[in-house]
Amino acid sequence: MIMPSLTNDTVTDSFDAETFAFDTHSTPHDFAPLEDAIAYVRDLVAPVWPLKDYVAVTPYAGFANQHFLAAHQQLQSVSTCQLLPSLRELAKSFAAKRFHIHDIELALGEWRFQSTSTASLFPDACDMTVNDILRYLHLDPTENETAAANLESLKTLSSWFDLANSTNWSNIILDEIGKHCAAYYENGQSSWQNPWKHLSLLEAWRSAATVDYNMDCLGLVGFRASIAALPHSARQIISQSLHLLGVPQQLWPQYLHCLVLSMPGWFAWTKYQTDYSPTASSTRSDFEDLLAIALTYESKLAQLTEFSVDWQAYWRGVGKRSESTGLQKNWLMRMILLRAHELSVERGLLQSINVKSAHLPEVSETQIKSRKVAQIVCCIDVRSERIRRNLEASSESIETFGFAGFFGVPIEHLEVGQVSGVSQVPVLIKPQIQVREGILDEPLSHTLAAISASAVRTRTEAIWKKFQYSATSCFSFVESMGGVFGWKSFASTQHHLGLFSRSILKWFAPLSSPQRGPTLCGLNEQGFDHRKQAELAAAVLRNIGLIDDFARLIVLCGHAAQTVNNPLSASLDCGACGGHSGKPNARFAALLLNQSYVREHLAERGIVIPADTFFIAAVHNTTSDEIELCDLQHLPESHQKDIEQLRRCARFASQQTRQERSTALGAPSTNNLLQRCLDWSEIRNEWGLAGNAAFVAGPRAMTRGINLDGQVFLHSYSQEKDPQSTTLELIMTAPLIVAHWINLQYYASTVDQAHYGSGTKTIHNPVGNFGILSGNSGDLRTGLPMESVHDGKQFYHHPLRLLAVIAAPRAKITPIIRKHAMLESLLSNQWMHLVVVDNEKFYRYQGNNAWQWIQQRSESLHS
Partner 1 sequence: MGSSAIFQLAGIPEFGFYFDGASALMLALVSFVGWLVCRFSVRYLADDPNRGIYFRWIGFTLATVMLMTVSSSLLMFTLCWGLTSLGLHHLLLHFPDRPGARRAAWNKFVASRTGDLCLALACLFCYLNFGTTDFETLFLHYANADSSAVPAAGSAVVGWLLVAGAAIKSVQFPFHTWLPLTMEAPTPISALMHGGIVNAGGFLLIRSQPLLASAPNAMLFLTIVGTVTAVFASLVMLTQTSIKRSLAYSTIAQMGFMMLQCGLGLFAAAMLHLIAHSLYKAHAFLSSGTLRVPQNSAASASLTGGWSGISTRQKWQTFLQSLGSVFLVALTITTIAFRPLNHPNAWPLIAILLFAILSYVYQSVQTLSIPIVIYALFRASLVSCLYVSSFRIVDAIVSTSPQYSTVPAQFWGAVIVVAGFVFLAVLQILSVRLPHNRFVQRLYVHLSNGFYIESLWRKMLPSSTAR
Residue 623: CB minimum distance to partner 1, A: 14
- Amino acid identity of 416? V
Least separation, in Å, of the C-beta of 814 and partner 1?
Answer: 46
134-138 long-range contacts, Cβ below 8 Å, gap at least 24?
Answer: 134/101, 134/104, 136/87, 136/329, 136/333, 137/87, 137/90, 137/91, 137/94, 137/333, 137/337, 138/91
Asked whether position 88 contacts partner 1 by CB under 8 A, the answer is: no
- By CB under 8 A, residue 202 contacts partner 1: no
148-187 footprint of partner 1 as x/- string (CB under 8 A): ------------------xxx--x-------x--xx--xx
The torsion defined by the Cα of 709, 712, 715 and 716, in degrees rounded to 10, comes to -40
Residues 681-740 that bind partner 1 (CB under 8 A): 681-684
Q: Between 266 and 614, name the residue whose CB sits nearer to partner 1.
A: 266
Element (H, E) at 835: strand 833-838
* 253 HSE (CA, 13 A, CB side): 16
What is the smallest separation between the CB atom of 660 and partner 1, expressed in angstroms? Answer: 21
Residue 787 binds to partner 1 (criterion: CB under 8 A): yes
Nearest to 376 by CA among 731, 687, 723, 654: 654
Give the footprint of partner 1 on residues 662-681 (CB under 8 A).
Answer: 679-681
Query: What's the 3-state SS for 18-48?
Result: HHHHHCCCCCHHHHHHHHHHHHHHHHHCCCC
Interaction of residue 655 with partner 1, rule CB under 8 A: no
Q: How far is the CB of 304 from partner 1 (least distance, A)?
A: 15
Query: Is 123 among the residues that bind partner 1 (CB under 8 A)?
Result: no
State which of residues 19, 194, 344, 397 lies at the interface with partner 1 (CB under 8 A).
Answer: 194
- What is the spatial distance between Cα 780 and Cα 269, in angstroms, rounded to a whole number? 8
Least CB distance to partner 1 at residue 578 (A): 15
Cβ 794 to partner 1 shortest distance, Å: 11
Q: How far is the CB of 191 from partner 1 (least distance, A)?
A: 5
- Phi, psi at 402, each rounded to 5°: -120, 130
Closest to partner 1 by CB, 469 vs 597, is 469
Among candidate residues 589, 445, 621, 441, the one with its CA nearest the CA of residue 514: 441
Q: Which of 319, 361, 775, 815 binds partner 1 (CB under 8 A)?
A: 775
Strands of 583-693, DSSP E: 614-621, 627-630
Q: Which is nearer to partner 1, 521 or 564 (CB)?
A: 564
Residue from 697, 737, 722, 716 nearest 823 by CA: 737
Query: By CB under 8 A, what part of segment 52-81 binds partner 1?
Result: 52
814/720 Cα distance (integer angstroms)? 18
In the bound state with partner 1, the residue whose beta carbon lies nearer, of 326 and 666, is 666
Per-residue interface string for the shown chain with partner 1, residues 394-433, x marking contact by CB under 8 A: -----------------------xxxx-------------
DSSP 314-378: HHHHHHHHHH-HHHHHHHHHHHHHHHHHHHHHHHHHHHHS-GGGGSS-HHHHHHHSPPPSEEEEE
Q: Which residues share a beta bridge with 301?
A: none
Least gap, CB of 655 to partner 1 (angstroms): 23
Select 776 or 855, whichever has its Cβ closest to partner 1: 776
**Choice between 83 and 182, CB closer to partner 1:** 182
Let me know: does 248 contact 312? Beta carbons within 8 Å: yes
Q: How far is the CB of 606 from partner 1 (least distance, A)?
A: 42
CA distance linking residue 158 with residue 231, whole number of Å: 22
Of 134, 146, 164, 213, the residue at the interface with partner 1 (CB under 8 A) is 213
Query: How far is the CA of 82 from the CAs of 233, 813, 847, in angstroms?
Result: 34, 33, 25
Secondary structure (3-state) at 838: strand
Q: Count of residues binding partner 1 (CB under 8 A)?
A: 111
Q: Which 3-state string (H, E, C) describes 525-582? A: HHCCCHHHHHHHHHHHHHHHCCCCCCCCEEEEEEEECCCCCCCCHHHHCEHHHCCECC
Contacts for 830 with CB less than 8 Å, ≥ 6 apart: 67, 68, 69, 801
Given candidates 115, 214, 434, 659, which one binds partner 1 under the rule CB under 8 A?
214
Q: Does the protein bind partner 1 through residue 115 (CB under 8 A)?
A: no
Q: Does residue 472 bind partner 1 (CB under 8 A)?
A: yes
Residue 401 falls in which region: left (phi positive, over 0), alpha (psi -120 to 50) or beta: beta
Here's the x/- map for partner 1, 557-596, by CB under 8 A: it reads as -------xxxx-----------------------------
Residue span 219-258 as binding mask against partner 1, x where in contact by CB under 8 A, dash where not: x---------------------------------------
For residue 796, the Cα-to-chain-centroid distance in whole angstroms is: 18
Residue list 316-375, contact with partner 1 (CB under 8 A): none
263-271, 426-434, 462-470, 838-846 -> range binding partner 1 (CB under 8 A): 462-470
Site for partner 1 in 506-545 (CB under 8 A): 508, 510-512
- Of the candidate residues 127, 192, 306, 811, the single one contacting partner 1 (CB under 8 A): 192
Counting contacts by CB under 8 A, is residue 455 touching partner 1?
yes
User: Which of 129, 142, 489, 848 is in the footprint of partner 1 by CB under 8 A?
Assistant: 489
The distance in angstroms from the start CA to the end CA of the chain is 84
Q: Give the angle 439-440-445 at the CA atoms, nearest 5°.
A: 45
> Closer to partner 1 at the Cβ: 30 or 412?
412
Query: Residue from 101, 449, 635, 734 that binds partner 1 (CB under 8 A)?
Result: 449
Quote the CA–CA distance of 555 and 377 in Å, as a whole number: 6
Pairing of strands 771-774, 764-767: antiparallel
Q: What Å distances lie between residue 725 and 403, 816, 826, CA to CA?
A: 17, 9, 21
Q: Show the site string, 790-809: x = touches partner 1 by CB under 8 A, - = not.
A: xxxx----------------
Over the range 801-819, which residues count as b (16 or more CB within 10 Å of their CB) and which as e?
bbbbbbbbbbebbeebbee
If the CB atoms of residues 539 and 683 are measured against partner 1, the closer one turns out to be 683
Which range, of 95-103, 107-115, 130-138, 775-783, touches partner 1 by CB under 8 A? Answer: 775-783
Q: Which DSSP state fits 856? A: P
97 versus 793: smaller Cβ distance to partner 1: 793
Among 88, 459, 502, 648, binds partner 1 (CB under 8 A): 459
Q: How far is CA 42 from CA 19, 37, 270, 297, 594, in A?
A: 28, 9, 10, 20, 46
Dist. CA 598–CA 587, nearest whole Å: 15
From candidates 235, 329, 339, 764, binder to partner 1 by CB under 8 A? 764
**Nearer CB in complex with partner 1: 465/648:** 465
Q: How far is the CB of 165 from partner 1 (least distance, A)?
A: 11
Q: Name which position in 470, 526, 640, 849 contacts partner 1 (CB under 8 A).
A: 470
Sequence-ordered strand ranges (E) for 594-732: 614-621, 627-630, 694-698, 712-716
Our CB check for partner 1 shows the closer of 249 and 420 to be 420
Q: Of 101, 151, 451, 629, which lies in the binding site for partner 1, with binding defined by CB under 8 A?
A: 451
> How would you write 712-756 as a 3-class SS string?
EEEEECCHHHCCCCHHHHHHHHCHHHHHHHHHHHHHHHHHCHHHH
Does residue 483 touch partner 1 according to CB under 8 A? yes
CB of 183 to partner 1, least distance (A): 6
Choose one: 316-324, 375-383, 397-405, 764-772; the region binding partner 1 (CB under 8 A).
764-772
Which one, 24 or 207, has the nearer CB to partner 1?
Answer: 207
Strand, helix or coil for residue 451 = helix
From the list 79-87, 470-478, 803-811, 834-842, the region that binds partner 1 by CB under 8 A is 470-478
